[in-house]
Structure 1
């Protein structure tokens, strides 16, 4: 691997969020664990921001105390971004979080995967999702905040295999709506990850790195089938890539001890030269 210069490593807070009620901490605990793990940045979600949701200045001060940068603010919706009667509410949420992210120079807003939440025509759901993403990204442009889509392979996702990615991206404004590829989710839906990354490389804003085994079960980074060096080489060549590699761990090890798991992943990246 020819490691690109300027790569930065951040941590996604879903590693703790996936514990559900088993996680009793707050955002300050996340910042402490992520900083202690050796990370430079954080991607936090609307469900984990807690008391800082309406206090971006206070969150900025907390980040500074821990030596962290806000890479991105990620949010989802109970609509799955596919329900036409929820478009206005989804755009209002986008406006809110774009306003939050605008406090942090260079921070993006990441919108979750379009998901099937009710019966109906699949093509119409793609149409609605594209409208929401495009209009949210236009709001972001007005505020000086880049907006990107984060497809996932979770239950009822509309964005599972390569054909799904191609269909949605054909509807998205390439100048406005970015892409946050997630190596684990891509591998679960279409194992030829390098082809997928190359096909839509110019949309990439930053990267989610995680791993799966050959059966698609989550694995610790570097212990599955993801060719991390090859992925980084492709992503680093994107003209819009901002240099952030965001590690997100969903394996059983993370369920037992999230802080230890993300620290171990950071050590794994050092072995890759990052």
Structure 2
């Protein structure tokens, strides 16, 4: 009997509208969606995320035609949620999630990235609520996230990956660990964004090594330490911090991505690793050269027989 040959785990590299300065479905300062698709393919990426719902065409047939024509496939959709508000926001949340999940499934993707709502406005800095959750809010956050994950899996066949994010309640190492320890590993996985985690003081390699079974997806991103020190000292909201250049082009910032990718490879599971260099607002001619250089840098992080 011939022994079976095990296929090595893969890290599949992609990019996202975020790396082209796209934060909103419709903004005259953003590049048109056709240009994003043209340039992300030209830069050498084969995988993309949907970005803000409505930026790319929401008709699956049209979006399939547009992506296939450029050799692109979709890895995930993204939703923002305020699940720490509990049952009161469920119906509104599900209506929002269901539309995006349906498009995500129709595009053949397997993941839904869930980002918690901000505790302060990412443009004005207005404090919207306390930055620290009460015990009751933590229970709502964890139980409602489990509910969302179960519903998304059962109805759409997608895996929810929760994205720790600056200026949200799932941000620091302490809060990420608390969230993971309080949720069912079978239902809730993590989208580890290396830039956001560093922004909030976390160590991505240690998180992967400690909670490896919970890492379901990666966003590759770096922060500029000098700019980060300024925005932390000045208590700058995330949006203006991005405008200052807190997220920077690899390999100029932290964390170093080679050790992160080595730790991810050691998990021996297939993972998407999506480049997201927050750049809003940005000149329309800026993203493509950065995307090309970043793709080449990530290729240099690969190993013989397992290129990135």
* CA distance in 1 between partners of 2:205 and 2:293 (Å): 25
Which residue in the other structure is 2:83 paired with?
81
By how many angstroms is 1:251 displaced? 5.4
Which residue in the other structure is 2:158 paired with?
145
Give yes or no for the alignment of 1:227 onto 2:256: yes
Which residue in the other structure is 1:173 paired with?
184
By how many angstroms is 1:163 displaced? 0.7
By how many angstroms is 1:63 displaced? 1.1
Which residue in the other structure is 1:135 paired with?
147
Which residue in the other structure is 2:102 paired with?
99
* CA distance in 2 between partners of 1:23 and 1:177 (Å): 35
Q: Which runs of 5+ in 1 are unaligned?
A: none
Gap change, CA 1:35 and 1:133, over 3 Å in 2: same
Give secondary structure in 1 for the equivalent of 2:225: coil
- Please list the CA deviations of residues 198-235 of structure 1 after superposition, one character each: whole Å capped at 9, or x if unmatched: 22211112210011133433221111122211101212
* CA distance in 1 between partners of 2:99 and 2:205 (Å): 35
The answer to whether the 8 A contact 1:12-1:43 is kept is yes
Which residue in the other structure is 1:266 paired with?
295
Size of the aligned set, in residue pairs, is 263
* CA distance in 2 between partners of 1:268 and 1:32 (Å): 21
Query: What's the TM-score once normalised by structure 2's chain length?
Result: 0.77
Give yes or no for the alignment of 1:124 onto 2:136: yes
Q: Which runs of 5+ in 2 are unaligned?
A: 1-7, 120-127, 229-245, 303-307
Query: What's the TM-score once normalised by structure 1's chain length?
Result: 0.86
Gap change, CA 1:25 and 1:121, over 3 Å in 2: closer
* CA distance in 2 between partners of 1:195 and 1:25 (Å): 37
Give yes or no for the alignment of 1:65 onto 2:92: no
The answer to whether the 8 A contact 2:162-2:188 is kept is yes
Greater C-alpha Rg: 2
Root-mean-square deviation (Å): 2.4
The answer to whether the 8 A contact 2:164-2:191 is kept is yes
Which residue in the other structure is 2:271 paired with?
243
* CA distance in 1 between partners of 2:146 and 2:61 (Å): 28
Give yes or no for the alignment of 1:108 onto 2:111: yes
The answer to whether the 8 A contact 1:115-1:159 is kept is no
* CA distance in 1 between partners of 2:91 and 2:139 (Å): 15
- Please list the CA deviations of residues 85-132 of structure 1 after superposition, one character each: whole Å capped at 9, or x if unmatched: 212211222222222222133431111135334358533332222233
The answer to whether the 8 A contact 2:23-2:52 is kept is no
